[in-house]
Structure 1
Amino acid sequence: MSDPVDALATRIERLLRERRLPRSALSPAMRERLRPLFDAGTLAEERTGAGGQVVVRDAESFARFVRREYPSGIAPTIPDETPLRARSVLVSRDAKRAKRGGPVPVHLRALGADVRLRRGEDSLDISAWTRAAGAAGLVVEPQCEWQFEGAVALVENLEVFLHVERIVGAIDLVLFAPGRLSGVVRDWLASPVMAKARYLHLGDYDPVGLDEYLKLKAVCASRVALHVPPDIEERLRRFGKESLLLDSAAVLDRLRRAADPEVSDVVRALDRYGRGLEQEALLISI
């Protein structure tokens, strides 16, 4: 099939065809990738009315750039069975430029004696896997049909995944979601098959962790809650790290305007101490 492997490829295709593009069509990340072309004068901006346009000033140089960045062409014919990151290597020599949305493996731990995921007549005994091997694995695909009814904790770091029962109780299942939660996994958690699950978000107490909570709450509404320990300020004072805020200053500024009361309370605490808190600090007895 013919498929532009990344979003920038579709913009480049239009620039090749029409020699111009609305400035608003390029995201900051796209502009960063094209920065050498702007610096060299191959691309330029022109003001038009209230907006502006990006125009190709040197068609030959632009074509060379496209051939270098997309050695197989903007939209080569790719067999349907080719995985997303392999497509990206074919098109741009860079697996990390692949569109997101493919299958994502997740790790699960059962804290109850009979925790199962079900799909029609099929059943995955997560409790048995946890007893035997310490954890279970599941590949979550788009339109995932595995369902679960019960309380799920989403944790960001491995050590908390392995010891979360020391922090929270009344949890049936723990899902390890390192860093940013995949959109595929978020869609599964918000899907009808998971409608009887409720979620406790337990991430780092920093801008990224709080932002991830808001993203999940936006699609799961009242079924998701933010875990905030009652002694969070004391833990911030003793174990907080300033770089957790400095590295995500723009996200923190946006969170200061968030309407969610739980997030607002945590953000005020972060501002008060000028530090964020890694969730491993909750495993420390104080």
Structure 2
Amino acid sequence: MDSTLRAALLKLHGQSTLPASQFTPAQRSALDGFARQTGAVTCQRQGRGDVYRVSDSQLFNIHLAGLSPQVEMPNTESLPLRAQHIAHARNSKARNHQHDSYYPQLKAVGDRVFWHQDENGNQLPLSQLTQNYGAASLRLQAEDSWQTSQPLWLVENQALFDRTDWLPADTQATLLYYGGQLDGRLLAWLARQPRASRVILFPDYDGVGLANVARLVALLGEACECWLMPDWQTRLERYGSHRLWQDTYREFNSVVSLLPQYLSPLTVRMCQTGLALEQEAVWLPI
């Protein structure tokens, strides 16, 4: 209700009168309730319709400032987005509250992994930073030009990021930990221009993980792939979870038709067995 009333009061702010047709039904209802409670606004018949008028400007401004401090604050557009939301609605999460930049955790596998920007010569020696500090990060924005000549692996669970002995031998690559859901800013960044020689996603084999595969493939096409762990069939049947399959079946069913053909053996077997498999099974004996 506060957001609806705030929008209505902001429309009326600075106007002598405003036709009721300028407000949504929900805003009219909020204004009518506000008028009854405060007397700061009146609704009057004028011509063929109703108009709203501020009848007590001092009281009106007090209530409006309580809902939206921004009204008397110039140049809020220059502030960070969440600061604008606090000014607008006393809530940093009002409206779209996602930050512009994305800072992923990155780790090098191998000793010759670099990221670079050709136009200004910036370079991130990821192998050296991983050796010295365990991991590193980059500020990713869709318009930047960061790229690497090695593959980029995306992993859903931290264990795969912490311990890398599951990767194919002699891998020279970057690992990026995304924590459950691929962030939209990361997807936009990957889609803007080629970032790596190959983008390889290793998700959980469940509805959520495969939904992330579908999102990535929709953007990158054949420039990306979903990695199938060795002997995945045996691992699925030995270590798969029926509960996980049930919990994520809705997501699975909504994206299975969007997945690449090479994943059909996996998705068919998941349906046949009613099982889903988590990434960490890659370490278990078969």
Same fold (TM over 0.5): yes
Unaligned runs of 5+ in 2: 12-19, 38-62
How big is the shift at 1:235? 1.8
Q: Does 1:148 align with 2:148?
A: yes
Cα RMSD of the aligned pairs, angstroms, is: 3.5
Amino acid at match of 1:207: G
How big is the shift at 1:78? 6.0
- Between the aligned partners of 2:194 and 2:146, the Cα distance in structure 1 is 7
Q: Does 1:113 align with 2:85?
A: no
Q: Does 1:72 align with 2:68?
A: yes
Partner of 1:83: 80
8 A Cα contact 2:116 2:147, kept in partner: yes
Partner of 1:49: none
- Between the aligned partners of 2:163 and 2:208, the Cα distance in structure 1 is 22
- Given the superposition, is the C-alpha separation of residues 231 and 94 from structure 1 closer, same or farther in structure 2, using an over 3 Å criterion? farther
Amino acid at match of 1:115: V
Amino acid at match of 1:180: Q
Secondary structure of the corresponding residue to residue 197 of structure 1: coil
Q: Which has the larger radius of gyration?
A: 2
8 A Cα contact 1:167 1:282, kept in partner: no
Partner of 2:208: 208
Query: Map of 1:157-176 to 2, 5 A cutoff?
Result: 157-169=157-169, 170-176=171-177
Q: Does 1:103 align with 2:101?
A: yes
Q: Deviation digits for residues 237-277 of structure 1, max 9, x if unmatched? A: 23222333333332221123335213433222222222221
Partner of 1:33: none
Amino acid at match of 2:162: L
- Given the superposition, is the C-alpha separation of residues 73 and 199 from structure 1 closer, same or farther in structure 2, using an over 3 Å criterion? same
How big is the shift at 1:206? 0.9
Q: Deviation digits for residues 151-184 of structure 1, max 9, x if unmatched? A: 1111011110122332334341111111211122
Count of aligned residue pairs for this structure pair: 242
How big is the shift at 1:115? 1.0
Q: Tell which deviates more after alignment, 169-178 or 102-111.
A: 169-178
Identity percentage over the alignment?
Answer: 24
8 A Cα contact 2:69 2:87, kept in partner: no
How big is the shift at 1:189? 1.8
8 A Cα contact 1:103 1:140, kept in partner: yes
Secondary structure of the corresponding residue to residue 164 of structure 2: helix
Q: Deviation digits for residues 116-151 of structure 1, max 9, x if unmatched? A: 111131111001001111111112123122121221
Structure number with higher strand proportion = 1
8 A Cα contact 2:245 2:274, kept in partner: yes
- Between the aligned partners of 2:8 and 2:230, the Cα distance in structure 1 is 49
- Given the superposition, is the C-alpha separation of residues 167 and 10 from structure 1 closer, same or farther in structure 2, using an over 3 Å criterion? farther
- Between the aligned partners of 1:95 and 1:198, the Cα distance in structure 2 is 37
Amino acid at match of 1:126: L
Q: Tell which deviates more after alignment, 203-212 or 90-99.
A: 90-99
- Between the aligned partners of 2:251 and 2:10, the Cα distance in structure 1 is 32
TM-score, normalised relative to structure 2:
0.71
- Given the superposition, is the C-alpha separation of residues 265 and 56 from structure 1 closer, same or farther in structure 2, using an over 3 Å criterion? farther
Q: Deviation digits for residues 18-55 of structure 1, max 9, x if unmatched? A: 444xxxxxxxxxxxxxxxxxxxxx85xxxxxxxxxxx9
TM-score, normalised relative to structure 1:
0.71
8 A Cα contact 2:151 2:197, kept in partner: yes
Amino acid at match of 1:189: L
Secondary structure of the corresponding residue to residue 67 of structure 2: coil
How big is the shift at 1:89? 4.0
Amino acid at match of 1:185: L
Unaligned runs of 5+ in 1: 1-5, 21-41, 44-54
- Given the superposition, is the C-alpha separation of residues 61 and 250 from structure 1 closer, same or farther in structure 2, using an over 3 Å criterion? farther
Partner of 1:181: 182
Amino acid at match of 1:184: R
Partner of 2:124: 124
- Between the aligned partners of 1:62 and 1:150, the Cα distance in structure 2 is 61
